[in-house]
Amino acid sequence: MIWPTPPRIRAVAVGEGLAVMVARPGPLEDSPVFERTAGGAELNVATVLAHLGIGTAWISRVGDDGFGRYLIRHLAERGVDTSGVFTDPTRSTGLYIKERGGGSSRPDDLAAGTSRMLYYRNGSAASALSPADLAANAARLEQCELIHLTGVTTALSPTATELTDALTTAPRRGRLISFDLNYRAALWIRRTESAADILARQLRGSDVAFLGADEAAEVFGTGDPARLREMFPQPRHLVVKNSGHSVTGYLGTSRREVPALRLTVTEAIGAGDAFAGGYLAALLRGRPHEQLLRYGHLCAAAALTGTGDVAELPPLAQLESRATTSDSEWAAMSYAPAEARS
Label residues 225-246 b or e (16+ Cβ within 10 Å = b): beebbebbeebebbbbbbeeeb
Residues 6+ apart with CB under 8 A from 171: none
- Dihedral over Cα of 115, 215, 314, 19: its sign: negative
Among residues 109, 133, 273, 309, the one annotated as catalytic is 273
Instruction: Give the span between the Cα atoms of 335 and 333, in whole angstroms.
Output: 7
109 belongs to the catalytic site: no
Cα gap 26→117, rounded to integer Å = 14
18-34 burial by CB neighbour count: b if 16+ within 10 A, else e? bbbbbbebbbbeebeee
Contacts of 253 (CB under 8 A, 6+ apart): none
| Cα–Cα dist 178/170, whole Å | 13
What is the CA angle 149-301-226, rounded to 5?
60
Q: How far apart, in Å, do the first and last CA atoms of the chain sit? A: 15
- The residues pairing with 100 across neighbouring beta strands, listed in sequence order, are 115
Tell which residue, 200, 42, 6, 3, has the closest CA to residue 133.
42
- Catalytic residue numbers read 273
